[in-house]
Amino acid sequence: MDAQAIAELDLDLAEFADVVFRYVVYRGQRDYGQQYLRGLLLQGGRKSVAPMAERLGLPRQNLGHFIGQSSWDYRDVQRRVAARAARVLGPAAWLIDDHPFVRYGDGTAGAMVQHCGDRNQHLCQVAVSVHAVSRRGSSPLHWRLFLPASWAEDRTRCAKAGVPADVGHRTKQALALDLLDEPADWGPTPPVVIADCDHGNNVAFRSGLTARGIPWLVAVTADTVVLPATGRPVSVWAHRRPSLKVDQVAAEHRYRARRFVYRPKSKDHPARSGWFVAVPVHIAGIIERGHVSRTTPDRMLPRRTLLVQWRHRRGGDVFRSWITDLPPDIPLSVLVRHATSRRHIETDYREMEQALGLGDLEVRSHLGFHHHVALVSAAHLFCLEARLNPKGRHVV
C-alpha cells in the first residue's frame, strides 16, 4: 500500500493494532508494534529494520531492539491473530506447511545448508507453519522455527543466536503437532488437517492427529503400500491378499476418474483441472502395521480413502495422491477441494514475500524471527480483511 492508502486506513489500522497488542504490557511496545505493521504495509524496497525505520522516521536502533530483543510475547500476538482469522475466514481446513527463508550468515538461528524450495540446496532457515483455509481465502495462524540437530547439539552457538535453553531439535512433524495443539488451546479447532507427503508419509504424524481427534487428509507418495478395502475386516498381519502400491491400485480405478476444475481461470493464472478418483483402502506399510498392532485392541487395519489425481484421463502416471480418514461418504468434490487447497497459501506466500517483507528480516536471533513472522501474519490478515470488507469496518 502507498502512504495515501495507509492514511485512509489509519483508523482501521489503529483499531486492529489495539486488538492485536492489547495485552502487550508496555505502551511503548504497543506503539512500536503498530509502527512495525505500518512499515510492513507501506510500499518500498526491503522490509528489513533499517529501510523501514527510515521510511517511518524512527530510530533504527529502537526498531531493531523491538523486533530482535524486546520481551513482548509473540505467542500472545499470534493467538489473537489466529482467533481473529478464524472468525473472518470460517476455515474449512487447516493446512500444515514448511517454508524456507534464504539467509547469508551461518550465525542466524537454525540456518544451515538444506533444501530451500526452487533454490535446491542453500543456506536457509525453515519454519513449520499452520494456515486457516476457506473459500474466502487463507491466513497463517502460527509459525515455529525448525532447529536442526547440529544446532541443538551446539549450545554455545544456540546461546549466541538467542535460542532458549529448553528449545532443542524436534522433527518437522513433531513441530506441526505442537503448532496444532497451541491454536486449539487458544480457541479455534481444526475441522480437518491437510499436509504434504513429508508429513503424510510419517506414521507418527498421522497417528498423532488421530489421537487428538483431528480428521486428516495428507499427501502420500506413489510407492505407499496399501490394501484395497473390500468391506471385510483385515487383520494387521493378514497375508490373504498381496499388498500393493498406490500407483498400482490407482491404475485399476482410472476408468472411474472424474474431471474437476480446481482452480478457475484468472487474469494471473490459467485454469487448472485434473481427473480424480476415490478408492477405499487400508494403509499396509510395515511401520503402520506395527503401530496398529501396538495401539489397537482388535489389531484390525482401519479403513481409509485413497484420493488419486491424474493430469489426463488416458496416459501418464499418477500426478498426486492423498489418503484420508474422513468418512467414506464424503463427496468426491469435497475431497478434491480440500486436497487442492494449497494454492491458497501459495498466493499468501507470494504476497507476504513480495509485499509484506516475510523473508527480509536481517535480525539473527531466535526471538526476532518469531516476532517478525507474527507481525507479518498480522499484516497479512489486515490486508485480507481490507479486501473482504473494502467499505466496511474490520472485525473487532
pLDDT, tens only, 342-392:
988 988 999 999 999 999 998 899 999 999 999 999 999 999 998 888 755
Domain ranges of the chain: 90-193+345-363, 216-325
How many C-beta atoms surround the C-beta of residue 395 within 10 A?
Answer: 15
Look up residue 203 and give its three cell numbers: 506414521
* 8 A C-beta contact, residue 220 and residue 201: yes
Please give the Cα distance from 374 to 377 (Å, whole number): 5
- What's the rounded Cα separation, in Å, for the pair 147 and 162? 12
Query: pTM value?
Result: 0.91
What pLDDT, on the 0 to 100 scale, is given for residue 318? 93
The per-residue pLDDT for range 198-254, each reduced to its tens digit, is 999 999 999 999 999 999 999 999 999 999 898 888 888 776 567 899 999 999 999
* pLDDT bracket for residue 270 (50, 70, 90): confident
Distance CA 310, CA 281 (A): 18
The residue among 158, 64, 143, 52 whose CA lies nearest residue 106 is 158
pLDDT given for residue 395 in this prediction: 46
Spatial contact of 88 and 395, defined as CB atoms under 8 Å apart: yes
- Percent of the chain residues past pLDDT 90, beyond the cut: 72
| Grid cell digits, residue 179 | 503448532
pLDDT tens readout for residues 289-305:
999 999 999 999 999 99
Distance of alpha carbon 56 from alpha carbon 50, whole angstroms: 10
* C-alpha of 71 from chain center: 26
pLDDT in tens, 138-188: 999 999 999 999 999 999 999 999 999 999 999 999 999 999 988 766 777
Mean pLDDT on 47-71: 94
pLDDT greater than 60 at residue 396: no
Give the per-residue pLDDT at 2: 56
Give the pLDDT band of residue 264 (cuts 50, 70, 90): confident
Does residue 393 surpass a pLDDT of 70? no
